[in-house]
A and B are shown apart, each in its own frame.
Chain A
């Protein structure tokens, strides 16, 4: 994209989510002075960190012209698997590695089915979500399982240079993903899948393998999110991931990644995640019940999608012959 020299042109390149973020900060500060306190902001960031991790994976899937609605189920299953492994006496390091390998494989299976059969990804990942959350329910018979390990508190509460650990984890994941996406062949293939899959095939790249890797990465990041979540709730809970798949897709879409043509990126997703976290936090501070929150966030997402599509339509200037 060529940089426009005019002020107006530069304004246009700033994604809408930035203005939404700015205006919501201003509005919420006006409504509640507590909102701008440092401790509150730290809370917001800590709350946002695990969502950012899973959303990055979902963003990359969306960029490759797929969609991943299985992350919620994967997160639930991760908490249950991890705690179960620890209860069985498997050492911490192994438990983490095995859990993350399993979630990556779940993602890989998603990708394989999507790529091999050219099956709509939303139905594959919805089905997978049903399977994984079902397995989590069977493993725990529907209730939470508890275990305590000092690492939980390290993941949730410790700080390095006064930066809380969840934020550091999210930042590391973001940096690695950024490098993967913009500095490696993996990233080029992601954008290729989104933009021009035929060219990839002609270029001798195994499409199935690259789609599998994209979904697998999303599974891995959902697994990491599940680990952070399990540390926070100090238990394995078969329904702890419910709704996360939606938040992740929501943050991605609000962040400006669109379903077509591999537009957008993980930078916008940070803003999308922050916006969701700020709205949730502010509604809590102001005292709006969680019931209104889900309706509000659902409406916002729909609005964001509609605005995105609307502007794309105007830009494309497509003329539809219609009776």
Chain B
């Protein structure tokens, strides 16, 4: 029984990977610029922020939750950090403050979901509105730009030939793989998602785990906001908007089930890459940027549909 489950899990990851390979082949056939080294680096760089956001989200989705507020959080942290930098606060402190703010908002989400047992999408949708409102108040409609050059390095700089955001994203992914796959904490997260009651009766401190997972997700959202600000070298309220649905899409395309307990961070890497390549190839082919939300919408509905239906078939 166990091996069958494992095989199914592997096959799901394989499915995403095959999708990615197919996409790469099709893309390189449809545009000769696609496989150039600089375009590949561009894709990796473009995917890095989405990846940081959605890897954090993966942990939450594994608990059978979802966090719709992470893009708003990223924008809020970005705006806050830009204000702090303008006020002359040193960069390391800005990073720490930004990540802590994300963690606190995440903890609040965790409280709404874990303690009050609100449906996660309701709770985090509400948080999203509140956080967006606070960003609006803080920025008063302004755009902050011209941040210190040392800070911009985190968005546009290189370590060797790799862009800094890519390195940071890789580190975050590695952290999540260890956290979710190789620790008791990770096992418990999977258990909560696949069977809440069993987790409860197995003496798993369910609430605490849910608090922690949402808080970690908030912290990665804060980190993503900082790097996004560094890359744009500017901050504004709407800076996170494009990531809204894409984060959920990346997680689901990567094979993590919205029904919880199945999938993992590696799949999300594939999911984020697939989404970024789709957007990249649309840009290379000159598809109007207005059409991109249509494609994202279709992709997300169809993947979620396939995921849920296939899972139900297996259960039956």
Contacts and interface: CB of A to CB of B under 8 A. Distances in A.
Are A and B genuine complex partners?
yes
B116 A309 contact: yes
A11 interface: no
Contacts of B119: 259
Interface stretch (B171-179, B228-236, B300-308): B300-308
A305 interface: yes
B112 to A, nearest CB: 7
A302 B116 contact: no
A291 B141 CA distance: 8
Interface stretch (A116-124, A204-212, A218-226): A116-124
Nearest to B259: A120
Interface in B189-208: 200-201, 203-207
A137 B253 CA distance: 25
Interface string B10-36: 000000000000000000000000000
Contacts of B312: 117-118
Interface string B124-135: 011101101110
Interface in B260-306: 288, 290-298, 300-301, 304-305
Given A119-B308, A128-B297, A134-B294, A292 B118 contact: no
A142 B292 CA distance: 13
A295 B248 CA distance: 24
Contact of B290 (A142, A298, A323): A142
Interface string B32-63: 00000000000000000000000000000000
Interface in A275-323: 291-292, 294-299, 301-302, 305-306, 309-310, 313, 320-323
A168 interface: no
Interface in B104-131: 112, 116-119, 121-123, 125-127, 129-130
Contact of A117 (B127, B132, B308): B308
Given A128-B301, A322-B206, A294 B133 contact: yes
A246 interface: yes
Nearest to B114: A322
Given A117-B308, A127-B300, A306-B116, A298 B258 contact: no
A246 B124 CA distance: 13
Given A117-B309, A120-B258, A123-B248, A298 B297 contact: no
Contacts of A257: none
Contacts of B116: 306, 309-310, 313
B93 interface: no
Nearest to A136: B290
Given A301-B126, A323-B205, A309 B294 contact: no
Interface string A42-83: 000000000000000000000000010100000000000000
B203 A323 contact: yes
A113 interface: yes
Size range of the interface on B?
A: 35 or more
Given A299-B130, A322-B206, A292 B137 contact: yes
A127 B307 CA distance: 15
Contacts of A309: 116-118
Given A113-B305, A322-B200, A322-B207, A301 B129 contact: yes
Contact of A119 (B118, B132, B304): B304
A127 B121 CA distance: 14
Contacts of B134: 295
A262 to B, nearest CB: 15
B168 interface: no
B301 A122 contact: no
B277 to A, nearest CB: 18
A301 B122 CA distance: 10
B296 A130 contact: yes
B297 A295 contact: no
Nearest to A121: B121
A206 to B, nearest CB: 18
Given A130-B293, A131-B297, A313-B116, 17 more contacts: A117-B305, A119-B304, A123-B258, A141-B288, A141-B290, A292-B137, A295-B130, A295-B132, A295-B133, A295-B136, A306-B116, A306-B118, A309-B117, A313-B117, A320-B200, A322-B200, A323-B205
8 contacts: A113-B305, A123-B301, A126-B248, A134-B293, A134-B296, A138-B294, A294-B136, A299-B130
Q: Which 4 A-B pairs have the closest CB atoms?
A: A295-B133, A298-B129, A130-B297, A134-B293
